[in-house]
Amino acid sequence: MCECQPYEVDLQALKRFDERNTVFARKLWDESGIFYGKPEYRSTAPQRIAEGNPKYTHIGYARLMAAWDLPHILKQYQSWKKLSPDDEALFKLGQYPVDDSTRMSRDVKETAKLYGAALTGITEVNPLWVYSKDANGDAIEIPTEYRYAVVIAVAMDGQAVQTTPSYLAATATALGYGEMAYITIAMAQFIRNLGYRAIPMSNDTVLSIPLAIDAGLGQLGRNGLLVTPQYGSRIRLCKLLTDLSLVPDQPIDFGLTEICRTCSQCAKACDAEAISYDQDPSYSIACVSNNLGIKRWAVNADRCYTFWQKNGASCSNCIAACPFTERSHSSLTPH
């Protein structure tokens, strides 16, 4: 796959993961989950606002909910097919000939940057990272011609993330999802306009973090997230699959695993106590939302999501605490 070893897996245990076992899907059906049957964290807003905490205000909540509207609306446009009617000029141009896949890869990355991507990498699709079933229980089968994945990182507002846990930090997350949706839709249309096929997606269909590692964007951290040299974990990941001929990037190793062995800042910052303090990564899992057969510090997603419900908004403590997380300034007022 690459000259460096980006992660360790047990191929006897590793299977395609069922998206229904992600914690966000389990909240709807898994009665054994400690978060099942409890009110959605948004329902805590009246109580949180009434408490008078400056991190949880009416203004802040209004911002947060408005920021989530765009990704929810755009989700329907992350289609496997071209969205707009065929353009007569494009029809006359026909399929763009790719004589130089290296140059084409550069054009794809430049386009992603133009549309708002902070980082872009390319990898061949590893079938093991494709979900076996989607959140509705329908089997997922990706046609083999979709050989390449374009993996994109969207940077969240650094100063907003540092206010976590708060409505402002949660708003930075929501805005990231809006950018993810726009960029993947636009990138898919760009590739289709060249005469090729593309499947845009956010967190669904294929596991984002393994693809991003394969595409050379970063490494897996103790916090269970991708850590990049440029932004730390202050990113959101999205991707698209395509049959356009591209050149894969190589995984990188900037020493993160060794650093994570001695650094436990994310674990210390986790109010949910969901992050392991073990010195070494292992094949152990912390809950059913962890895939078997992957060597890493497993994060207890049950505890993490339960804290979100209690907190009243998503949490970014482990992102903010990571020493690699780059902290840019923001003009947002921390309501």
- Quote the pLDDT of residue 335: 55
- Closest residue by Cα to residue 124 from 144, 95, 109, 99: 144
pLDDT for res 87: 82
**Would you put residue 138 in left (φ > 0), alpha (ψ -120 to 50) or beta?**
beta
pLDDT in tens, 136-186: 999 999 999 999 999 999 999 999 999 999 999 999 999 999 999 999 999
Instruction: Identify the band that residue 52 occupies on the pLDDT scale cut at 50, 70 and 90.
Output: very high
Residue among 272, 288, 205 nearest 31 (CA): 288
> What's the token pair of residue 181?
């949706």
Say if residue 6's pLDDT is above 90.
Answer: no
Structure tokens at 138: 């329908």
Judge whether 242 and 201 are in contact, CB under 8 Å: no
Least confident of 52-66, 80-94, 215-229, 302-316: 80-94
Coil, helix or strand for 123?
strand
326 token code pair: 């780059």
For tokens 């446009």, name the residue.
77
Whether 242 and 96 have beta carbons less than 8 Å apart is answered as: no
pLDDT of residue 170: 96
Average pLDDT over residues 24-52: 90
pLDDT at 234: 96
Residue 329: pLDDT above 60? no
Q: Judge whether 150 and 108 are in contact, CB under 8 Å.
A: yes
What's the chain's length in residues? 335
Cβ-in-10-Å burial (0-12, 13-18, 19+) of 116 comes to middle
Give the chain's mean pLDDT: 93
**Is a pLDDT exceeding 80 seen at residue 328?**
no
Residue 300 has, within 13 A of its CA and on its CB side, a CA count of 17
pLDDT at 1 over 70: no
* In the predicted structure, residue 118 carries a pLDDT above the cut 50: yes
Distances (CA, A) of 150 to 74, 90, 308: 19, 23, 31
The pTM assigned to this predicted structure is: 0.92
- CA torsion sign for 283, 229, 212, 117 is positive
Give the per-residue pLDDT at 2. Answer: 43
* Cβ pair 137, 22 in contact under 8 A: no
* 186/148 Cα distance (integer angstroms): 17
